[in-house]
A = this chain, B = another copy of it.
C-alpha cells in the first residue's frame, strides 16, 4: 500500500508552516513524508524541534544538501524569501519532473519589474517565475492542475483577494476606494527568536506594522488589477492581534451603483459549491475562531450606514488556508487527488 503513496519532501520543516505541513501530511491518506530538511536543526529528530510529533515516525531532519530527492514526487518549499528561488531552481534543474509547491513569496509576482520593485533586487530564476502558477485554488484551479511549480499565496493576500476579486471582475466597486485593515495572529511571523515577538511584548497589546508599504501588497495589486482590468493599488495595513492563529480582514469599499446586498450576492454566487469558502448570510460577520485549525475561509458582507458603502469581512487560519492547508490543497490538485483530501478538519473553538 505504502508504495502507492506519493513521496513528499518538506524543506524548512522547523518553522511553523513546515510543522503545519507535517501535521496535515501525517494524516493524509495518499502521501508519505520521506524527506524533511531544516538547515539549522539538521541532525535532530522532528520531535526535538516540535515535541507534539514525538509519537509519530518521521524522517530525521537533514540539510538540503544531504537530502536525496531522486525518489520524491513533490516538494513543499517553506524556506525564507530569496533563498527559495535559488533552491527551487537547483532542484528543478536536477529533477525536472519534480512538482513544487512553494510557500514563500518568491514566485508569486509574475511581473519581473514588480518583483524587483517590491524586493529590491532582480529575480534569480526568471524562467521559473514565468512558469509558476499563482496557487489560489478557487481562482486558478485549472492552471494549478497542470502546473509543475505552484506559488502558494500569502495569508493576508488570500484573505483579501478572495472576497474582492468577484466584485472587481463585475465592476461593482470603485477600484480606488478599497481599504484593507488586516489583523493577524502571531504565528504568521514565524519562529525566529526576536525580542519584538516575545510573549511579554505581544500579549495584551495590538499594533500595526509595515504601515504604508508591506511587500505582500504586490500580490494584492497583481490580482486586483487583473480582476479590474486596470491598475489597482489598495490601501492596506497589517495589524498584530494577540492570538496565535487567524487573519481577520476588514475591507471597506464604495460601490459603483450596486448596494451592499448586491455585493453579497456576487460573492456568494462566485463561490457557490466551493468546499473551503463559506459566505455568511447578508449582514452577518464571522469570528476568526470559526476557521481556526481548518482550511475554511469565512466571508461576511454588511451595508454601511451610508448608501453606496459596504464593509466586507474575510477570515481564515493563516497557517492552514493561509499557508500549509492551501499548499496541501494545491498538492491535491497537482497530484490528481480529491481536492479536499486531508483537509477535512473542522475548526477548533474554543
Contacts and interface: CB of A to CB of B under 8 A. Distances in A.
A254 to B, nearest CB: 9
Q: How many copies does the complex hold?
A: 4
A242 B199 contact: yes
Contacts of A120: none
Interface in A284-334: 285-294, 296, 298, 300, 302-306, 309, 311, 313, 315, 319
A200 interface: yes
Interface stretch (A2-10, A151-159, A209-217): A209-217
Interface footprint category on A: 35 or more
B199 A198 contact: yes
Nearest to A310: B212
A183 B205 CA distance: 10
A27 B346 contact: yes
Nearest to A24: B346
A305 B202 contact: no
B52 A346 contact: yes
Contacts of A306: 233, 235
A286 B244 contact: no
A343 to B, nearest CB: 11
19 contacts: A51-B280, A52-B294, A181-B181, A185-B204, A186-B203, A193-B195, A198-B198, A198-B199, A203-B244, A203-B350, A204-B245, A205-B349, A208-B313, A211-B285, A211-B300, A211-B302, A212-B302, A212-B303, A242-B243
Interface of A: 16, 19, 23, 26-27, 50-56, 179, 181, 183, 185-187, 189, 191-195, 197-209, 211-213, 217, 233, 235, 237, 239, 241-246, 248, 250, 252, 278, 280, 285-294, 296, 298, 300, 302-306, 309, 311, 313, 315, 319, 344-350
